[in-house]
Amino acid sequence: MIVELRGVDYEVCIRGEGKPVLFLHGFTGNAQWVDSFPSLPVRLVSPSLLQHGATERPPVTRSTMSQQVKDLSRLLDLDDRPWTVVGYSLGGRIGLTLAACDKRVEHVIGVSTTPGLRSSKERTARRRQDEELARFIETEGLSAFVKRWENLPLWRQTEEMKQSLRKDRLAQHPTALANSLRAIGTGHMPSLWGALHRLPHVALIVGAEDSKFKAIARDMQKERSDIKIYEISDAGHAPHIENAPEFGTIIKKLILGGI
Model pLDDT for residues 12-41, shown as the tens digit of each residue: 999 999 999 999 999 999 999 999 888 899
Against a cut of 0.95, is the pTM above it?
yes
Write out the DSSP string of the chain: -EEEETTEEEEEEEE--SSEEEEE--TT--GGGGGGSPP-SSEEEEEPPTTSTTS----GGGSSHHHHHHHHHHHGGG-SS-EEEEEETHHHHHHHHHHHH-TTEEEEEEES--S--SSHHHHHHHHHHHHHHHHHHHHH-HHHHHHHHHTSTT----HHHHHHHHHHHHTS-HHHHHHHHHHHSGGGSPP-TT-GGGS-EEEEEEETT-HHHHHHHHHHHHHSTT-EEEEETT--S-HHHHTHHHHHHHHHHHHHH--
* pLDDT beyond 80 at 215: yes
Q: What is the pLDDT of residue 154?
A: 82
| Mean pLDDT to the nearest integer, 46-67 | 98
**Domains of the chain: residue spans and CATH:** 2-117+189-257 (3.40.50.1820)
Q: Output the pLDDT for position 132.
A: 97
pLDDT class of 259 with cuts at 50, 70, 90:
low
Beta pairing, strands 8-15 & 2-5: antiparallel
Averaged pLDDT for residues 118-125:
97
What does the alpha-carbon distance between residue 61 and residue 42 come to, in Å, rounded to a whole number?
34
Q: In Å, how far are 113, 131, 202, 213 from 75, measured between CA atoms? A: 22, 30, 21, 28
The chain-wide mean pLDDT, for the chain, equals 95
pLDDT tens digits for 123-171?
Answer: 999 999 999 999 999 999 999 999 999 888 888 887 888 888 888 899 9
